């Protein structure tokens, strides 16, 4: 059973569809990155899953329970908003004790609070008032409070977007330690973070799902058979001429440095050697200098841009 299962979910605000016909499954135990540019529908989707907004149509289940604003599914969820706010006169420990009051009585509560402070890496600051916390410490406290009820699913909306590099690193390390303990769904537009820690990703754009796949599989699907071709003396027509070579399925201009240009040449994996030979022959015939034609690996940011950037999609 999936930890989260979404079926044709739509959320409209007047004539604007923030989420449109979204169907998605989040595997149990996964660290799932929910990606998209600003306005893609990530926050709206998470709020619906958390019971904080009502869908216009469609539905979802969390841990096998149907999602409703006051539904039983909420007992399975830990939630952290994009910009968490705490009573600044409370200490971190008092904050967790206060949040625990919203859950059924827990045995050994103080021990549990100590565990959460330790897990979040803020045990030494547990008796300090939260107004003294840095941004990264507040985010870690936010994750700790979301874990108070031992949720089956942890939902985090942009947990590292406002942090400096050290704060982001700390939050990512905390998320990585949660792998297998709970299902983590977190939205972000910081793609390097996702590539470092997730095992699954979904990409949204303008309210619609673009793709969903294991992270490694998504990267592999875009890098298999892609050659980075660097040519000296290349001109404006070179990309079109490369695209007409046998076995080439697509060409994207990558960079330019004087009269040296780089191209990403896409081909079926089993045709890569023959395409490399064809590129060499083309370069000789066209009087160009072939500097290199090697297979490359795209990072998640490059894959993301190819999927959602209109200029990249049109290339």
Q: Please give the pLDDT value at position 314.
A: 47
Sheet with 226-232, side-by-side order of all strands: 248-257, 260-267, 226-232, 289-295
Residues 179 and 240 in one domain: no
30 plus 148 within the same structural domain = yes
Is 218 part of a structural domain of the chain? no
- Predicted TM-score (pTM) of the model is 0.77
How open is the CA angle 25-70-26, to the nearest 5 degrees? 10
Residues in the chain: 315
Residue 203 shares a structural domain with residue 231: no
Count of CA atoms in the C-beta half-sphere (13 A) of 93: 13
Instruction: Confirm whether 137 is domain-assigned.
Output: yes
Average pLDDT of the segment spanning 154-163: 85
One domain, residues 137 and 245? no
Percent of the chain whose pLDDT exceeds 90: 57
Pick from 183, 213, 243: which residue ends a domain?
A: 213
pLDDT at 236: 87
DSSP tag of 129: B
What would the two tokens of residue 223 be? 């890098």
Last residue of a domain, one of 147, 182, 213: 213
| CA distance linking residue 232 with residue 256, whole number of Å | 10
The answer to whether residues 196 and 232 belong to one domain is no
Q: What is the pLDDT of residue 53?
A: 92
Kindly state the helix (H) or strand (E) to which residue 261 belongs, with its residue range: strand 260-267
Task: Please indicate, yes or no, if residue 219 is contained in any of the structural domains.
Answer: no
Q: What is the biggest distance separating any 2 CA atoms in the chain, rounded to whole angstroms?
A: 79
* H helix count then E strand count, the chain: 11, 14
Task: Give yes or no: residues 96 and 199 share one domain.
Answer: yes
In a domain, residue 267? The reply is yes
The stretch 296-307 carries a mean pLDDT of: 80
What are the DSSP calls for 95-122, one per residue? Answer: HHHHHHTTSS--TTHHHHHHHHHHHTT-
Q: 165-177 vs 135-146: helix axis angle to the nearest 10?
A: 20
Per residue in 78-103, pLDDT tens?
999 988 889 999 999 999 999 998 88
Sequence-distant (≥ 6) Cβ neighbours of residue 44 within 8 angstroms: 11, 18, 19, 53
Q: Give the separation between CA 58 and CA 55, rounded to whole angstroms.
A: 7
Residues with Cβ < 8 Å from 92, sequence gap 6 or more? 117, 122, 125, 126, 127, 128, 130, 133, 141, 144
Question: What is the mean pLDDT of the segment spanning 125-140?
Answer: 92
pLDDT score for 3: 95
Q: Is the pLDDT of residue 256 over 90?
A: no
Six-digit token string for 104: 């059924």
Task: Say if residue 205's pLDDT is above 90.
Answer: yes
Domain enclosing residue 302, as ranges: 224-314
Given a contact cutoff of 8 angstroms between Cβ atoms, the answer to whether 210 and 25 are in contact is no
Torsion on CA atoms 135, 137, 140, 141, rounded to nearest 10: -110
If asked whether residues 143 and 74 sit together in one domain, one would say: yes
Average pLDDT score over residue span 115-136: 92
Rounded to whole angstroms, the Cα distance separating 51 from 74 reads 7
* Contacts (Cβ under 8 Å, ≥6 apart) of 64: 1
How many angstroms separate the CA atoms of 230 and 167, rounded?
38
| Helix, coil or strand: residue 63 | coil
Q: What is the CATH number of the domain that holds 241?
A: 3.30.70.260
- For residue 170, give the CATH number of its domain: 3.40.50.300
Mean pLDDT of 284-293: 93
- 187 and 158 in contact (C-beta within 8 Å)? yes
Residue at which a domain ends, from 188, 213, 238: 213
Query: What total number of domains does the chain contain?
Result: 2
């Amino acid at each position: 059973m999936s930890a989260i299962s979404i079926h044709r979910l739509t959320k409209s605000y007047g004539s604007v569809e923030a989420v449109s016909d979204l169907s998605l499954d989040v595997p149990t135990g996964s660290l799932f990155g929910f990606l998209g540019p600003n306005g893609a529908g990530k926050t709206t989707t998470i709020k619906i899953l958390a019971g904080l907004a009502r869908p216009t149509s469609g539905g979802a289940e969390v841990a096998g329970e149907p999602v409703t604003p006051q539904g039983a599914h909420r007992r399975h969820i830990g939630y952290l908003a994009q910009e968490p706010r705490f009573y600044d006169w409370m200490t971190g420990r008092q904050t967790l004790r206060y949040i625990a009051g919203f859950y059924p009585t827990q045995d050994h509560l103080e021990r549990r609070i100590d565990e959460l402070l330790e897990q979040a890496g803020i045990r030494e600051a547990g008796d300090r008032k939260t107004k003294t916390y840095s941004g990264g410490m507040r985010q870690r406290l936010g994750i700790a409070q979301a874990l108070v009820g031992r949720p089956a699913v942890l939902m985090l909306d942009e947990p590292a977007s406002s942090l400096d590099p050290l704060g982001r690193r700390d939050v990512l390390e905390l998320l990585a330690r949660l792998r297998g303990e709970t299902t983590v769904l977190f939205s972000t537009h910081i793609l390097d973070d996702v590539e470092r820690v997730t095992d699954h990703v979904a990409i949204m754009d303008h309210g619609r799902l673009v793709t969903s796949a294991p992270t490694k599989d998504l990267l592999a699907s875009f890098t298999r058979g892609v050659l980075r071709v660097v040519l000296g003396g290349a001109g404006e027509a070179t990309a079109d001429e490369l695209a007409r070579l046998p076995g080439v399925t697509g060409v994207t201009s990558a960079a330019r440095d004087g009269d040296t240009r780089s191209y990403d040449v896409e081909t079926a994996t089993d045709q890569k050697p023959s395409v490399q030979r064809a590129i060499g022959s083309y370069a000789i015939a066209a009087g160009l200098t072939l500097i290199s034609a090697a297979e490359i690996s795209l990072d998640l940011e490059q894959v993301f841009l190819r999927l959602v950037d209109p200029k990249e999609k049109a290339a």
